[in-house]
Structure 1
Amino acid sequence: MNKNNNTVIFLMGPTCCGKTDLAMKIYNKINAEIISVDSSLVYKNMNIGTAKPNKYELEKFPHKLVDIIYPNEGYSVANFYYDALREIKLCFLKKKVPLLVGGTMLYYKILLNGLINLPEKNKYLINRIFDYIKNNSSTNLYKKLFKIDFKSANNINKNDIYRLSRALEVYYTTGKKKVVF
């Protein structure tokens, strides 16, 4: 294998299909660094229900982007994007192969396609939207989004208040519909 060709390996699939075990088996064989592509593994102390490698495995086969923040802290797709790009670049500097392992397909999609240029979060508007949800239902929020941007609404579960509110926030902030990818 030519280690100077800046190859990045994606090892993806559903939870508990053997991705981590396979990554640990090939870790030394290809001079790799494992970078987690899992939206749950970034959180410290979230060890149950996440299929997180145990302490021994993490010591023997270090995983980047595991246990980096607490659950009460925010971590977005954009955070992952920039963190992953930084780790990939560090691998290249060390002449190692970035081995991206996990099942969060949106993270892979963002790495392949880049980020969509969206406005910064508008806390005032977010609070108004969540006040609306308190007095109404997520179904009403969904109906409101459907009237404004049916393409986004069709791609969001009517109970996913976070994605619904972000789509509305983008619309109310920019006057533009959220780009669906």
Structure 2
Amino acid sequence: MEHDIKKLIVILGPTASGKSDLAVEIALRLGSGQARKKYGINGAEIISADSRQVYKGMDIGSGKITPDTKNSSNFSTGQAKKKYIFTHKGIPHYCIDVASPKRRFTVAQYQKLAQKAIKSIWRQNKVPILCGGTGLYIQSIVDDLVIPEVPPDAKLRAKLEKLSTDELFEKLKKLDPRRAENIDRHNRRRLIRALEIVIKTGKPVPAPSFAEVCPRQNMP
């Protein structure tokens, strides 16, 4: 009888710290006959949690694993028969090369892809391994953050840019006191993004740690 597993292994650390190799080693061990017999599982698959590895062509310095075979279809489109981008040592990897560097890719988009991958892995009676160095990506999955999908508003940002940093902070404190308590009051980028969310949605930012819904490279 198969075990009803709903487990998630998380490997978090900086680039070039050996995370990817460790994830593959664990996946290979969990796919062994001994593990299948002992734990009643069919192996493991890996989900990248790296804000650079999601971009196609961004290979240098991102620590991407070299694929055994590359899938011509993209997991994010839902058109691939095999719902992963590539395999390494026979282990499927998700959330790599899923976005164009010419377009913004948000934490909300990553969360949807990763959650879809996790459910797919669970359905196969396997264990998902979330591996990477982008803390907010991992937190969006582990803590199931409620992330507002608020696209950048150039006009609103231009208006907010005219305010001083102190004025931005005071405005945020009035509109979203809880967020103002934990934000870096000297970080204009985060202040503007937090204000953008609360102004566009009419609601406070849903999680205190939700400081970088929009990746750094997407802010002007």
Shorter-chain TM-score range: 0.7 to 0.9
Mapping of 1:55-94 within 5 angstroms? Answer: 55-56=67-68, 58-60=87-89, 61-94=91-124
- In the TM superposition, what whole-angstrom CA distance separates every residue of 1:79-128 from its partner, at most 9, and x where no partner exists? 1211111111111222221111111121222212223263x5266xx222
Range with greater deviation from structure 2 (82-91 or 103-112): 103-112
* Cα distance change on mapping 1:25 and 1:130 into 2, 3 Å: same
* Cα distance change on mapping 1:55 and 1:112 into 2, 3 Å: closer
Give the TM-score normalised by the residue count of structure 2: 0.66
Range with greater deviation from structure 2 (45-54 or 132-141): 132-141
* Cα distance change on mapping 1:172 and 1:6 into 2, 3 Å: closer
- In the TM superposition, what whole-angstrom CA distance separates every residue of 1:14-36 from its partner, at most 9, and x where no partner exists? 22221111112222211211111
Contact 1:139 1:159 survives alignment (8 Å): no
In structure 2, how many angstroms separate the alpha carbons of the residues matched to 1:141 and 1:110? 26
- What amino acid does structure 1 have at the position aligned with 2:19? K
- What amino acid does structure 1 have at the position aligned with 2:56? K
Helix, strand or coil: the match of 1:82?
helix
Match of 1:16 in 2: 16
Shift of 1:74: 2.1
Shift of 1:70: 0.9
Match of 2:183 in 1: 155
- Residue 56 (structure 2) aligned to one of 44, 69, 77: 44
In structure 1, how many angstroms separate the alpha carbons of the residues matched to 2:115 and 2:170? 37
Structure 2 residues not aligned, in runs of 5+: 31-42, 69-85, 210-220
Match of 1:104 in 2: 134
Match of 1:5 in 2: 5
Query: What is the count of residue pairs matched by the alignment?
Result: 176
Select the structure that is richer in helix: 1
Structure 1 residues not aligned, in runs of 5+: none
Give the TM-score normalised by the residue count of structure 1: 0.79
Match of 1:27 in 2: 27
CA RMSD of aligned residues (A): 2.8
Within the alignment, does 1:173 sit opposite 2:173 as a pair?
A: no
In structure 2, how many angstroms separate the alpha carbons of the residues matched to 1:33 and 1:174? 36
- In the TM superposition, what whole-angstrom CA distance separates every residue of 1:136-168 from its partner, at most 9, and x where no partner exists? 66675455435544543442463452x322311
Mapping of 1:114-133 within 5 angstroms? Answer: 114-116=144-146, 118=148, 120-121=149-150, 126-132=153-159
